[in-house]
A and B are shown apart, each in its own frame.
Chain A
Amino acid sequence: MQTRHRARRRIQWSAYFYILPAFIIIGIFHIFPVFYAVYVSLNKGAINRFTFVGLEQYARALSSNDFWNSLITTFVYALLTMPVTMTLALFFAYLLYQPFVKARGIFRGIYFLPYVVSTVGSAIVWAWIFDPRSGLANFILTRLGLPALRWLIEPDGVGLLIAQGLHLTIPTWLNGPSLALVAISIFSIWQSTGYDIVIFLAGLTTIPSELYEAARIDGANGFQLFRHITLPLLAPTTFFVIVISVIGSLQSFNHIFAMNQAASQSLGGPLGSTSTLTVYMFDQLYTYSNYGYSAAIAIILSLIILAFTLFNFKVLGKRSRY
C-alpha cells in the first residue's frame, strides 16, 4: 500500500520524454510562429532581407480600400451564411429529433455527407451547376421563363439585378452583395448545414424527455414546447455553434478560392467582389510576396476573431446558462 502510493505520487521525469515529440512539433510550427508573425508584420522586404518599419504595414492596411472592402465582404459573407445555416440546421435537427422519426441515423448520415467531401471537389460540382452557359441553375431558370444569370462571374449586387429585372432604379447602397458572393454562400450553406445538424441533434438529446411530457400534460402545443423548453435548454449548444460559426466564417477561404478557381476567375472573384480578409491576405502573400503586409493583415484578423470570441463569451455566454 505504502509503495504503491509513493509510486503514484513520485515525480516521473520520464514524462518529459513522452510530451517531447508533440511539443517539438507544436513549438516549432504552432507556438514560435505566433511571435515570428508579429515580427514579420513589423518588417518589409523579401525573405531573409527584412527591413524594420514599425507599424507601417498596419497603417498601410487601415488606409487601403482593398483592405476595408475585404473586411466588409467578410462580414457580409458571414451574415449571408451563418443565420441561414443555423436556422436550417436547427429546423432539421428538431424534425429529426421527433420521437416517431425512423431511420434517424440514415438521414443524419446523408445530411452530414457534404461536410466530409473536400471543398475543392464539391466547389467544382457547384461551379458546374452555376455555369453561365451550360449549368443546371440557368437551365432551370430559363425553363421557368426567367432570364439566365452569370452567377459566379457576376460582380453586380443581387439588389441591383432584381431592380433591373423589375425595371426599377435603386440607390447604390441597395445594390447588395454581388451575385457571385451569394452563389458561393449557397454552396457554403449546403456544405456546412449537416455539421450544425449533428451538433444540434447531440444537444437536443441532452434535454430530459420528462420536461416535454410534463408540459404536454399541462396542454402546451408543439410550438410552445419548442419556444419554452427546447430553445432555452438548447442555449449552450446554440452558443457553441455561434462561436465556431463566427470564427469559421471570419476565416473563410477554401470555398471562395475553390469557387473563384472553378469559375476561371482571379482570386477574389469578379471585380474582387468575393474577396474576404483571408483571401486578401493569401493574395498578398501568394501573388505579390508582400510578407510583412500579409502578416499584418493576419494579425489584424486574429485580433478581430479574438474580439468576437470574447464578446460572444461575455454577452451570449452569460445568457446561455440555465
Chain B
Amino acid sequence: MAEIPQKRAPAPLTWLTQNLGQKVIYVILLAGAVWALFPFLWMVMSSLKSYAEASAAESFFPTRWLFSNYIDAWNQVGYFPQYFMNTIFIATATVAGVLITSTLAAYAFARMEFPGREVLFISLLATMMVPFEVTLIPNFILVRNLKWADQYQALIIPWTASAFSVFLLRQFFVSIPSDLYDAAVIDGCSDLRFLSSIILPLSRPALITSGLFTFLASWNSLMWPLLVTNRPEMRPIQVGLASFIGDAGTQIQLLLAAVTISVIPVIILYLILQRWFIEGIATVGIRG
C-alpha cells in the first residue's frame, strides 16, 4: 500500500499517466491531421523553392522563399490565366443554371398539384442511378452534331440541371410549413412571388449546399471537358493542368505553384462554407 503514493509522487510522470488513453487518442488524431495536410504543405513548400532545391527533396522549408515562382507560373505555364478565367466562368454559369432550374422544379414537386407528379419525380430520381459512363458517349456525339465542341455551351448547358439538387431542395421546401402558403394565397400572392419572396430566403442552407456541390463538381470535372475541348484556350483548369504536366515537367516548382493557385479558390470557399459542405454530406449520408 505504501508504494502507491510513492509512485505517484513525481510531477512529470503524473502529467503523462493521467488520462493516458485520452492523450494517446489525441496523438493518433493529430497524426491523422498531419497525414491529411502534409501533401498540401509539401506542395506549397516545394512551389517556393528553386528548381534544384525542389528536386533534391532534402529540406522541408525553402532556403530562399521564391514567391516569384507564382508570377512565373501565372505567366509562363500554357494559357494559365485563360484556364483560370474559363473555369470561374463555367462554374459560376453552371451553378446559376442549376439553382434556377432546380428551384423551379423543386417548388412544383413540393407545393403544386398536377397529373403525373409522382411518376415524373421518380423518373427524375432514377436518372441519379445512371453511371456517367453511359451518358458520356451519346452526349459527346450530340455535342459534336450541335457543333458545340470547343464552345462554352458544351461545358455548361448539359450540367445546368441536376436531379440531386431538385431532390435536395424539394425535401427542404416540403419542410416549410404550409400555413405560410395558405396565408400568402389568401393575400393574393402568386406562386412565383411566394417562391421568390418567402421560400427562397427561408431556404438559404439548402441553396448554399446544392450550389456548393455544383460549383465543386464543375471546378473539379475532368472527363467531360477532356472530351469536348481541343483548343487550349477553351480548356478549364483541370484539363489545362493535366495537359501541361508534360510541358512543365522539367519545372516542377512552377507546376506546383500552378496547382496551388488552382486549389486556392476551392480552399477559400471550403474555409468559409465548411459547415454547409459537411452538413450537406452528412444529411445525404443519413437519408441514404
Which residues of A are at the interface with B, using a C-beta cutoff of 8 A? 4, 7-16, 18-19, 21-26, 28-34, 36-37, 40, 47-48, 92, 95-96, 98, 100-101, 107-114, 116-122, 124-126, 128-129, 133-136, 139, 190, 193-195, 198-199, 201-203, 206, 237, 240-241, 243-244, 247, 251, 253-254, 257-258, 261-262, 264, 278, 281-282, 285-286, 291, 294-295, 297-299, 301-302, 305-306, 309
Contacts and interface: CB of A to CB of B under 8 A. Distances in A.
A31 B139 CA distance: 11
B137 A19 contact: no
Contacts of B105: 18-19, 21-23
B246 A282 contact: no
A22 B39 contact: no
Contacts of B42: 125, 129, 136
Contact of B114 (A11, A36, A40, A118): A11
Contact of A15 (B113, B124, B223, B227): B113
B163 interface: yes
A113 B36 contact: yes
A37 B139 CA distance: 9
A285 B40 contact: no
Interface of A is mostly: helix
B262 A118 contact: yes
Given A33-B135, A118-B262, A286 B191 contact: no
Contacts of A199: 281-282, 285
B46 interface: yes
B113 A113 contact: no
A135 B241 CA distance: 20
A203 B285 contact: yes
A114 B107 contact: no
A248 to B, nearest CB: 10
Interface in B77-124: 97, 100-102, 104-105, 107-109, 112-115, 117, 120, 123-124
Contacts of B4: none
B263 interface: yes
A237 B267 CA distance: 28
Q: Name the residue in A95, A120, A198 with the highest tally of chain B Cβ atoms < 10 Å from its Cβ.
A: A120
B32 A92 contact: yes
Contact of B286 (A14, A25, A112, A202): A202
B144 interface: yes
A22 B161 contact: yes
B43 interface: yes
Contacts of A15: 108, 112-114, 117
B93 to A, nearest CB: 13
A9 B105 CA distance: 19
Interface string B211-253: 0000010011011001100000000011001100110010010
Nearest to B130: A34
Q: Name the residue in A40, A202, A306 with the highest tally of chain B Cβ atoms < 10 Å from its Cβ.
A: A202
Contact of B131 (A19, A29, A125, A302): A302
A121 B262 contact: yes
B14 interface: no
A285 to B, nearest CB: 6
A118 B32 CA distance: 20
Given A108-B278, A134-B55, 20 more contacts: A11-B114, A12-B191, A18-B104, A22-B105, A25-B97, A30-B127, A33-B135, A48-B145, A101-B29, A107-B29, A111-B32, A114-B39, A118-B263, A120-B222, A121-B241, A125-B42, A243-B288, A264-B249, A294-B137, A298-B134
Contacts of A124: 241, 245, 255-256, 259
Q: Name the residue in B108, B166, B246 with the highest tally of chain A Cβ atoms < 10 Å from its Cβ.
A: B108
B90 to A, nearest CB: 14
Contact of A10 (B113, B136, B237): B113
Nearest to A281: B133
Given A18-B105, A124-B255, A26 B222 contact: no
B101 A22 contact: yes
A129 B39 contact: yes
Q: Name the residue in B39, B46, B54, B237 with the highest tally of chain A Cβ atoms < 10 Å from its Cβ.
A: B39
A14 B195 CA distance: 14
A171 B60 CA distance: 42
A299 B241 contact: no
Nearest to B108: A18
A4 B185 contact: yes
Contacts of A237: 285-286
